[in-house]
Amino acid sequence: MVDRRLIPLVAHELAHFFDQLKLAATPTNEDVENGRTILDGLDKPHVIRLHSKEWSEHLASAARQMVKGRKAPQTRIVEFLEVAIPDYDRPHWEPRRIKE
């Protein structure tokens, strides 16, 4: 059994997998906005080239679905994303911009 605290990190990696397979995300408008906030928070020089718009939308959608469906221990989308993305990779993070 997977430790539920790891769910956000698994979602992060699955978002990369879906992006690499070119699987289309079906984001809501809030997922698109949250995806933009995710990308804006990343460390541009080396991290941004590994994280695409599509990746961010997959991750934002997963965060919303996992939190709203109570499938993760986090009770807020912003909390899920803060576990999914290490703090050293998101120095420009603005948690107030995340739509719940």
Q: What is the pLDDT of residues 11-24, one digit of tens each?
A: 999 999 999 999 98
What's the helix, strand, coil split of the chain in %, to 5? 65, 0, 35
Which pTM does this prediction carry?
Answer: 0.93
Residue 8's pLDDT band (boundaries 50, 70, 90)? very high
Nearest Cα neighbor of 71 from 1, 8, 22, 27 is 8
In the chain, what are the domain boundaries? Answer: 4-20+27-90
Q: What is the pLDDT of residue 98?
A: 98
